[in-house]
Structure 1
Amino acid sequence: MPRSYRRSAVAFLLCGVLAMTLFVTGPAQAKDSAWTVRGPSPHSGPLAQLRLDGASGALALQVSRGGRTVIEPSPVGIVTERADLSHGLRYLGRHDRTVVERYRSTVGKQRSRTARMTETRFRFRGGGNARLDLVVRVSDDGVAYRYDLPSGSGDVLGETSAFTLPPDAAAWLGDYRKDNENLFKEYTAATAPTGEYMAQALFETGGGYALIAESDLTGRYSAARLTHQQGMPTYRIGLWDERVESDGPLSTPWRALIVGDLPTVTQSTFTDDLAPASRVADTSWIRPGPALWTWLAGGKPAGQSLSMQKGYVDYAAQRGWPYVVVDAGWYFDPDQWDVTDPDWQRNSWIPQLVDYARERQVGIQVWIHHRDLDTAEEREQWLPTLERWGVKGVKIDFMDSESQETLRWYDEILKDTAAHHLLVNFHGSTIPKGIQRTWPQVMSMEGVNGEEKRTNTPQHLATLPFTRNVIGSMDFTPGAFHRPERPNAVSDAGEVGLSVLYESGIQNLAGTPESYDARPLARRFLEQIPATWDRTRLLAGRPGESAVLARASGSRWFIGGTFTGPAHTAEVPLRLEPGRWLVDLILDGPDGLVRKPTVVRGGQTLSVPVAADGGFAAIACRWRPGLSTCDRP
């Protein structure tokens, strides 16, 4: 037999044997694949590991820090009209890059920011030849991922995204509510009751703390909440809408984990770092600052009275507060005008108030109901009018939804308020998931069980700095000394401290002029609250027990602390720069507030007597011989 024929015969025989082998044994088992994404500081920061199961084609993401687990392998996937991209995936490749972005914020924990992240884009193909890109970012303080889908993917029907914690991880959770205003309570990851929770959940694991968050949420998608079954340590992403409409390429919001020790998490700007850059070119008109909020001070009658509002303007001018916020009532009085009349604006006294306030260097912001701005025609009626009157900002209330339709409304109102140079404070709202970087006129958002509520607890107050306020400005409205319902009613010093402890671009101070005048030390402290902060540091605390934060403005540090439990002496590390500091303390005394100046070196411990469920406030400045106060003249 010729040699070429012999070769052909052997090849044919081998093919036959291989075919028989495959017939008998079936297809070979595919191997698992795993990839690691490291951040800028892999030895101290978190790292993410993505794993593709060879048998099911399903993805799972694990997060660790310092060699210890933060998040157990957790499902990653999305389901669209065209394909179920939670399994059956085949790896196509990856692309790595470094992201470095520098930007300035109009509000928040610090003005100047630098975001450094490593980014890996993983490309997959699923059933029906559907495509999916999974984009993973890792920074020194967080891990995030999002799904990128090409045109033709259809509407999104849901995500299989989830976070699996160690079962015994301490958990601070708030039941889900459409306006994000429920209390935080402490559980463990597995024992929390079955239900839905707000997507601002904090866990303590062996690898540090992890705060679940979301960023770059717009009308292209639907807001997330967490769903949980008691006994299981997994928290799944649930969307407001059963179907998310998409008619083109889609980048979903970021599923984010803020990761690190407690100071790292508390001081993090990760959700802003993930968000798109500012869409407002000229921000010179955007001016944060404290405001006298007249709702808790005077209620609806104050909103209906020009003379009362002038009195508040006078008081704000005396205090040096740049704003007065006129709340509900100013445009709902039937004795003033018919709101269905196109010329109703001419009957308003707001322009008179604006002129009066301008002469005293005070700006006016006004409350307005969402239903009066929910169409393009209404926005065209209201917003140019308010700008023409000289109103500086709007407090928009009662959206009470995180649906895709409502988020599309946010997109429109944000463009319109920027165009008409109006600052914005959203109430009855979602929370600021990166929105303040993209739209810097957003001074604050509610999304918190704040001072006007009657159900707050000291534990809730001591959890907010580690959960809700990490994500963005929070309009808690502190300073309502006259309200007996406030949870730290026995501690006026604690109430003063909340004005620093809680960050808000417009710090709406909720007390009456009489209550401030009765507490001159509190009044003097609140007169000095800065418009913005340069830096923020956590000095001490644990969620649900205590929180002490220091925020810098120029060379001075403002300090606020809140504590739960009986009266005691708190030991607070003064984590400031080296050198001697004069710490001007405001404490609770037997007959009211007292001032106690103390000289301490940076890094030493500050002993602070606090009342039961109370707190304190302080200003720290560089000590020099003869200096006895940190007050500015």
Structure 2
Amino acid sequence: MAVPIRTAAAALCAGLVATLLTTVPARAGQREHTWTVSGPGRTATHAPHARISLDDTTGTVSLSVTRDRRTVIEPSPVGIVTEQADLSKDLSFLHRKDRLVDERYRTKSGKRLERRALMNETRLSFATPTGARLDLVVRASADGVAYRYVLPAGLGDVLAETSAFRLPQDATAWLSTYRVDNEGQFAQYTAATAPTGDYSPQALFATDGGYTLLAESDLTGTYSGARLAHDQGTGTYRIKLADDRVRTTGPLATPWRAMVTGDLATVTRSTFTDDLAPASKVPDPGWIRPGTVLWTWLAGGRTAGQSLTAQKAYVDYAAERGWPYEAVDAGWYFKSDEWDTTDPNWQTNSWMPDLVDHARAKGVGIIVWIHQRDLDTPEERAQWLPTLERWGVKGVKIDFMNSEAQSMLQWYDAILAETAAHHLMVDFHGSTIPKGMQRTWPQVMTLEGVAGEEKRTNTAAHLTTLPFTRNIIGSMDFTPGAFQRVGLRPNSDAAETGLAVVYESGLQMYAGTPQSYDERPLARDFYDQLPAAWDDTRLLAGHPGQEAVLARRDGDRWFLGGVYAGTARTAEVPLTIGAGRWLVETIRDGTGGLVQDRQVLRGGETLDIDVTDNGGFAGIACRWTPGISTCHR
């Protein structure tokens, strides 16, 4: 529940102090033209600082970010152009307003369930010579800086932003070429040497000020999705909108342009893009239950999707393992005798209610795949969504949006409200990425927007970059566990097992076959233990493109996952999960398959694990006391 701003004396004092410390006095005869906003709290000296400057000659505004007095983002242009006004130049300063944002909220999935959004906010108001108004709203927290534009009604459609991010040219960059489905691979460059082109807005840079991930938040159908446009030889990444014209009908608040920044552990653990988003619009989220899923597409494809017998067998296997969901992918309603949806009894032609009843008796929920084109109109949604709810389906996997244009974002607005009304959890594929969506609409358990397990060209370097790029933004449906795809994936079996921890997803969809799990009982039994919602997340070791070792806590147990790119080695992992003695069970690659090791370590000691080429590991750590021989329950 949100804590009202300025209701406590401490909050009021903090806001006043922030105002006094961040306002630069005007010199005699000159208007104030520089402002600084930094994160609140005891860590403010180490938090990022945003510096906003108004050039008195050109009337242009720029924003830069520093951390520990080191450059994170160089002075970068800020501005927006509409039909009626160019709000990127000839601006004069009007006034400033400050407040402290302090909100506590609880999520249904993600890196941790209990959250606190604590940010200083500064609103700077500007005007053009003709009186057109622009408010620049800047927020700073302990792990990020963000800004958005707020425009009054009457300025017409948005034609472009002049927003950009200027990085030091030698900053290391991990970038993914932009695709409408957000399924590009991440590759390493420097900020200046990256080829000319468009890139995903989720871009990671390393500078002497630490790591910075560029991102968006609170993207809805009132606006247009963004990508980063870059010209080789520069460190500048410009905001390029998906639409040439963004339709507006009244006042407008654009999405947040966010910079998640800090050391790598801080950036990896950050929930900044969720913190910026509006509060939940689902009043009673008790029906939303994250969990692990047996997903059958890579196990049997469309043929399995057309077979009630095959699907019942998958449900039985999920029930045997204690996995709470089974997902039926494409094929279940695209049959040779395709339904006549003009017939009011068309739903009775499906075997899906039979499967749902069978699964319910086994304690398993059903999630169904459906193409976006079959939910494209209000009439189609009025046919499908109430029917799926009546059958008892628990969630929908909606595929092939493949756009972040304003019209598609308006469709997202509609489907989000309607799936919530019909108590259907959601997994989006061929989609945008979360961008705060999971806070506002907690029934969204996961989204694809990633070059995931289905891809045949993924590299081990890509797999070790995702925890520091795409998965920072929100739940990621990579679909790990496809052990049967030997030769089609770049990693080892132990690394594949560990991906289910390394990658966070509110619906963690296992992509293997029952036979492949039974042939690897250590991996199968590890999956039996895994939750899909976490109390905490920590980065134990990592470097994008080389290694990623994460620990995620469920109650009093920590689950460990590690993935590596490159040659075999003995990995040294700091066990920074708390003081005391821990029983650590790990699964690694052996000469004849997966093997398990057990050892007792003190918190802070080093966990040594032998890792194969492009390998990894999985593990569980629990408090050790005499007589405890396993962490499994």
Range 33-42 or range 200-209, more displaced: 33-42
Contact preservation (8 Å) 1:217, 1:253: yes
Select 1:466's aligned residue among 458, 468, 490: 468
Q: CA deviation at 1:283?
A: 0.3
CA contact (8 A) 1:30 1:55 kept: no
Deviates more, 1:41-50 or 1:200-209: 41-50
Matched with 1:243 is 245
For 1:326, the aligned partner's letter is: V
Q: CA deviation at 1:485?
A: 4.0
Distance in 2 of aligned mates of 1:220 and 1:88: 26
1:413 and 2:415 aligned = yes
Q: Which residue of 2 aligns with 1:558?
A: 559
CA deviations on 1:531-553 (whole Å, 9 max, x unpaired) are: 31000000001000000000000
The CA distance in 2 between the partners of 1:239 and 1:127, in whole Å, is 27
User: Which ranges of structure 2 fall in alignment gaps of 5 or more residues?
Assistant: 1-27
- Match of 2:38? 38
Using the TM superposition, give the Cα deviation of residue 42 of structure 1 relative to its aligned residue in structure 2, in angstroms.
2.2
What root-mean-square deviation, in Å, do the aligned CA atoms of Structure 1 and Structure 2 show? 1.2
Cα-to-partner distance string for 1:80-134 (whole Å, 9 max, x where unaligned)? 1111111100000100110000000111000000110000000100142100000
Identify which of 121, 128, 131 aligns with 2:133: 131
**Contact 2:139-2:147 at 8 Å conserved across structures:** yes
TM-score (norm 2): 0.94
Distance 1:446 1:192 in 2: 25
The residue number in structure 2 matching 1:225 is 227
Residue 442 of structure 1 and its aligned partner are, at CA, apart by: 0.1
String of CA shifts for 1:31-83, please: whole Å, max 9, x gaps: 77111112113211101000000110000001000010100000000001111
Deviation sequence 1:326-367 (CA, Å, 0-9, x none): 000000002364455443211100000000000000000100
Verify the 8 A CA contact 1:336 1:348 in the aligned structure 2.
no
The runs of 5 or more residues in structure 1 that have no matched partner are 1-27
Shift in alpha-carbon separation, 1:38–1:319, aligned structure 2, 3 A: same
Indicate which of 432, 435, 458 corresponds to 1:433: 435
Q: Which residue of 2 aligns with 1:493?
A: 494
Whose radius of gyration is greater, 1 or 2? 1
Distance 1:292 1:341 in 2: 33
SS, match of residue 158 in structure 1: strand
Secondary structure class of the residue paired with 1:202: strand
The answer on 1:375 being equivalent to 2:390 is: no
Are residue 507 (structure 1) and residue 508 (structure 2) matched?
yes
User: What is the identity, as a one-letter code, of the residue corresponding to 1:567?
Assistant: A
**Do the aligned partners of 1:46 and 1:141 also contact (CA within 8 Å) in 2?**
yes
Distance 1:163 1:487 in 2: 35
* Contact map agreement 1:31 1:53 (CA 8 A) in 2: no
Please name the residue that 1:268 is paired with. Answer: 270
Does the CA contact (< 8 Å) of 2:110 and 2:475 recur in 1? yes
Normalized against structure 1, the TM-score is what?
0.94
Q: CA deviation at 1:148?
A: 0.2
**Counterpart contact for 1:29–1:55, Cα < 8 Å:** no
CA contact (8 A) 2:450 2:478 kept: yes
Secondary structure in 1 matching 2:566: coil
Contact 2:505 2:532 in 1 (8 A): no
Query: In the alignment, is the contact (CA less than 8 A) between 1:336 and 1:347 conserved in 2?
Result: no
Paired residue type of 2:38? R
Whole-angstrom distance in 1 between the partners of 2:181 and 2:338: 32
Tell me the SS of whatever aligns to 1:264. Answer: helix
Task: Give the secondary structure class of the aligned counterpart of 1:231.
Answer: coil
Larger deviation: 30-39 or 112-121? Answer: 30-39
The yes-or-no answer on 1:547 pairing with 2:548 is yes
Q: Distance in 2 between matches of 1:127 and 1:619?
A: 63
For residues 446-500 of structure 1, the C-alpha deviation after alignment (integer angstroms, 9 at most, x for no partner) is: 00000011110000000000000000000000000001244334x1100000000
Whether the 8 Å CA contact 2:458–2:490 is kept in 1: the answer is: no
Give the 5 Å matches for 1:138-537.
138-335=140-337, 337-339=339-341, 341-489=343-491, 491-537=492-538
Q: Secondary structure at the match of 2:285?
A: coil
Structure 1 residue 524 displacement after superposition? 0.2
Q: Distance in 1 between matches of 2:331 and 2:342?
A: 16
- Amino acid corresponding to residue 39 of structure 1 in structure 2: G
**How many Å separate the matches in 2 of 1:342 and 1:154?**
44
Instruction: In structure 1, give the amino acid aligned to 2:68.
Output: G
Aligned partners of 1:555 and 1:77: how far apart in 2? 48
1:381 partner letter: Q
Measure, in 1, the Cα distance between the counterparts of 2:113 and 2:313: 33
SS in 2 for 1:276: coil
Q: Using the alignment, how far apart are the partners of 1:206 and 1:240 within structure 2?
A: 32
Distance, in Å, in 2 between the alignment partners of 1:440 and 1:483 is 32
Q: How far did 1:629 drift?
A: 1.3
Paired with 2:499 and 2:488, the residues of 1 have a C-alpha distance of 12
1:160-204 superposed Cα distances (whole Å, 9 cap, x missing partner): 100000110000000000000000000000110000000000000
Answer with 40-49 or 218-227: which moved more.
Answer: 40-49
> Identity over aligned residues, as a percent?
67
Between the aligned partners of 2:420 and 2:125, the Cα distance in structure 1 is 37
Contact 1:431 1:472 (C-alpha < 8 Å) held by counterparts: yes
- Structure 1 runs (4+) greater than 6 angstroms displaced: 28-32
Task: For 1:250, give the aligned amino acid.
Answer: L
* 8 Å Cα contact 2:504/2:532 also seen in 1: no
The 2-side partners of 1:225 and 1:217 are apart by 13
1:584 equivalent in alignment to 2:585: yes
Q: Is the 8 A contact 2:453 2:478 kept in 1?
A: yes
- Structure 2: how far apart are the matches of 1:337 and 1:42? 61
After superposition, give the CA deviation of every residue in 1:246-284 in whole Å (9 maximum; x if it has no partner): 010000000000010000000000000000000000000
Q: Who is 1:567 aligned against? A: 568
Q: For residues 238 and 604 of structure 1, what CA distance do their matches in structure 2 show?
A: 47
Q: Is the 8 A contact 1:290 1:507 kept in 2?
A: yes
SS in 2 for 1:113: strand
Partner of 1:5: none
Query: Separation in 2 of the partners of 1:603 and 1:80?
Result: 55
SS of the residue aligned with 2:348? helix
Count of paired positions: 604
Distance 1:341 1:543 in 2: 54
Contact 2:213-2:261 within 8 A present in 1 as well: yes
Asked whether the equivalents of residues 475 and 507 of structure 1 are also in contact (C-alpha less than 8 Å), the reply is yes
Q: Distance in 1 between matches of 2:179 and 2:295?
A: 25
